[in-house]
Each structure stands twice: as C-alpha cells, then as structure tokens.
Structure 1
Amino acid sequence: MSQAGTPKLLWLDLRGSERSSTLLGLFCERFQIDFLDPYNPEVSLLEQPVMAICFDFDYPDMHGLTLMRELYQRYQLPEIMMTEQHSEALMVWALRARVWEILLKPMQRSTAEFQLDSLQATLISAQAHREELHHVSTMLRLPEESRFRAANAEQNAVHPALSYMQLHLGEKMSEELLAKFCNLRPLQFSRLFKKAYGVTFQELLQQLRMQEASHLLTNPDRQILDVALSVGYRDHSYFCRVFKKYMGVTPKTYQEQQVNRSEKEQQAAIAHRLTAVANLAGPLELGVREGRSG
C-alpha cells in the first residue's frame, strides 16, 4: 500500500515485448502506480490527484505517439516517456509534443535511482505547487550529439564531423569526407581531432558504434547481423571481435545477459502487481465474510 503523500502516476505499458527493459519496479518503489489499458485509457481524476502519465516504450510506434498526443490534449497532465530508441528525431518530436520528461533505457541501476529520486522530489513538491508541472523537467535530455559541446578551439573546428559521425553510424566514412565538413585538409583535421578528443576519429567512431550496438542488443528480437549492419559493419565476425574487445563479451552473450536482466525486472513488476491486487482484495473479502457471518 502507498504511503500518504506518495505521488500518484498512471502507467501505460506500450512495449512490443515483455522482455524489453522497463523501469516499472523502480517507479513502484517511489510512486503509487495505477495501470491503464493501452487500447482504452480512461483516466479518473476525481480521486487522489494524478501527477503524471508514464509511457513505457521500447521502440515507439505511431499508435503510441498518437496516444501520447491525445491524452495530453484530453487531460493536460505531464507525460513521462521511457524509450530504448535514442535518436535526434524522437527528441525533437518529444520537445514539440511538450513531453515533460524522457528517460532513455537501458540505464545502470544507480543512474536510474538518481534520476527517479530527483523526479520523486519534484513531484512531491508539485503536489502543493502544481504550477511547477508547467515547466519541462531539467532532466529532459538533448539529442546525443548535443552532449559533446565544444569547449575549445579544436573542438569547435571539428564539431561538425562529430555530429555527422553520430547521425550516420551505419554508413562508411573517411577522413577526407569528415575533413570537408569542417573545411579542413585531411592532415589538419586529423591533428585537430586528436587534440580535441584525445583519440583519432577512427577510434572514436568505433566507440560510438559499440555504444549504439549495445543499445540495439537490449532488444531480444534483434539479430546480431542486423545490429552489425546498423552500426556500419558488413563483416559479422569482425563486428563480434570488436564488440568483445570493448564490452568483454560477445554480442550474443551480451544480448542474453540483457534478456535475463529484463526477465528479472519483469518478475519484480508482476510481483508488485500481485501485491497490489492482494491489498485491494483484502478489505473486499473481509466485507464478504462479515456479511455472511451476519
């Protein structure tokens, strides 16, 4: 049972697979959660005030995004979006759709706990000062390339190349091509890039590709070859060798580890739902027994 003063959130599970990553268990530790039917999401605002609606995606589809817009227009409640899709286009859509908070999955437990603790504090405060909910959360993340802000002259000079790299991880690219984006000669570009980021562009490109591959592999339905092609590797065996070099395990092992972790999270969520049902059924059963004894 939720303690008095615990913010109430509504939850829509819009994941394509129950094995996909979810933060539901951590949310349940901090908030009162009421579950909505994704195909008939009727919201009652007459009882305890609802603070926000949570949309748990793996990879958002048109139905889910349309539903977000419709529910915002209908109820004007802050919306919290969780997604495994990391793209500039989705971030821009979220900002335009007035999404209040975005959480990118998967994330380490310590990171998730820090963000949800901050979210909990904000919503507890907003229960007395609802106007705070009109402002987009300060945790709303910008597109990935925005995190590499130019801090010196060298980074300013090669920043266009970095942005291009992050948006075209699945494509072939050469030093000559990236140098052209920065209006530099290849040798000059190579020297400035190494000075700006401490590694060559090939090394950073490989790191970015492995980071994106690790995100894609959290989807248990993705084929290893498909992931390799998505991040610019045409040779399956070479991709596996590079991935193991960076991650310490093969892509297949990494994917299985993520599936096992997701299954444990799913079991925790099911256990919480069963507990919630038992807490609701307790008083009802007691009333029935009293009626029979009377």
Structure 2
Amino acid sequence: MFKVLLVEDEEMIRKGLRFTFDWMGADCVVVGEAENGEEGLRQIAALQPDIVIVDVNMPLMDGIAMIEQSVEGASCSYIILSGYDEFRLAKAAIRLGVTEYLLKPLEQEQLLAALERAKSQVEMKRQYAALKTSESGSGEARQASVVKLPGKSSRYVTKMLQYVQEHYAEKISIKDLVEKLEVSATYLNQKFKSETTYTFNDFLNRYRIQKAMELLQRSDGKVYAIAADVGFKDYKYFIAIFKKYAGCTPSYYQETYGHGTKEEHDANG
C-alpha cells in the first residue's frame, strides 16, 4: 500500500479527508497528519510517505515553500490543495513537479484520479532509485520501463504492436489499422485493451516515451528534437506526457541518466 501524509491547517478538512475517503479502496493508508509546512517537513523526514497531500495556504510555512525545501531529499509525490484558483501557485506547483493541483471543495473522484497519477509517479521514482544503485556491466544505468509487451497476443494485437513499433515516429492512429486488418476500430480497441491492459493511444504514448527515454539516456541532443524523433510534433504535449509516465521532465531525465553535462541539459530546457 502507498503511505499518505496529510498536511492541512484546517482540522475539519484534514479530518474529513482522513475519515471520509476510501483510502483502502485506493490502495493507500494515511500514516500521519500535519497542520503547517514546518511540521510537514518533520513528518516527511520521519514517516517517509509515498504521497503528500498539502494545502497551499498555511501558517508558519506554506505548501509551496514546504515542497521546495523537501523536494530534493524526498522521493514522494505531491498533490496540492487550494481554495484559490491562482495561476502563480499552479505555475510554481508545475515547476516543482507536483502531480496534481486540486481546488477546494474537493470531489472524491478528483482525489481518486489524482492518487492514481501520484502512485504511477511514485513507481517511476522507485525505478529511478534502483537505476542509481544498479548499473549494468558497461557502467550504464539500466533503462526504466514505462511499457510492457504481452508475452502472447492474438493475430490482430500482434499486428497492432508491430505497427506501433515500426511507425511510432510517424503520425498514426488506430484508424490506420482498420482498413489493413478489415475490422472495426471498436473491436480492435477492445481486443488490444483486453490483451495488453492499455488502450491503443495509451500504448502508443508509452512506447514513444520509452523510445524518448532511451534517446535521452544515450544522446546529448536537444529535447525538442528528440520529441520530434519519437513522433511528438507538439513539444508542450510531449513534456506533459513524459512527466505523466516518467514522473519528471525530459531535461531532468537526460541530466540524471544521460552522458551530457548539466550545462548542456540546462540549455536544452
């Protein structure tokens, strides 16, 4: 289960989150609470939570400041809560790699969806931790995987997987396969999801991100060029999808696991 820390100065909201949300159903457990950022930092150090849900506006230390001070040493993912729809705060949250920025009053469905994204990010961070401590014989870190190929697949799904592997750098969609395989898009989507657990578009994005990670690890090329090389023509969309599956920005991944210098990666953005 994933350990969750609640950092919220309003006791009613904090207790409401703790006792009214189905944490077990979300494969989570609340391991602690804090009512301000300073206490939150202490709890993060002591409890080592996987996910921190933190309010923006709190006494002594606000949520953004708390994340800024903890993000370097912590391996957790953050979900920000705020009663204020302020672009400045959202921008700061994005800069810090926050998983989600949610506005109060909070809907249960919103929190559940945010927790799913946070859990995915936690899993990727765990893989990064393994990458740092486990190296191959050549001295290069092993590649983290964001996509898994099925061991066995039907004829249709095999063709779909092959098509993605051969054409991922191009503009493609499941519609391209309808005429080739002479079956409906609905049937192909259902067949693909049942055998791979992914939708076709999700698999395509994951496969492209996997290829981008490989290029970022072994190349000092510009990030926007690598995005285009793996099929993303919209650079901002590439950044968003990369962060969704990898849990960090492409430039951070390249800086951490690539062969270039920090200055080169900073220049890449």
Query: Higher Cα Rg: structure 1 or 2?
Result: 1
TM-score range, shorter chain: 0.3 to 0.5
**TM-score normalised to structure 2 length:** 0.41
**TM-score normalised to structure 1 length:** 0.37
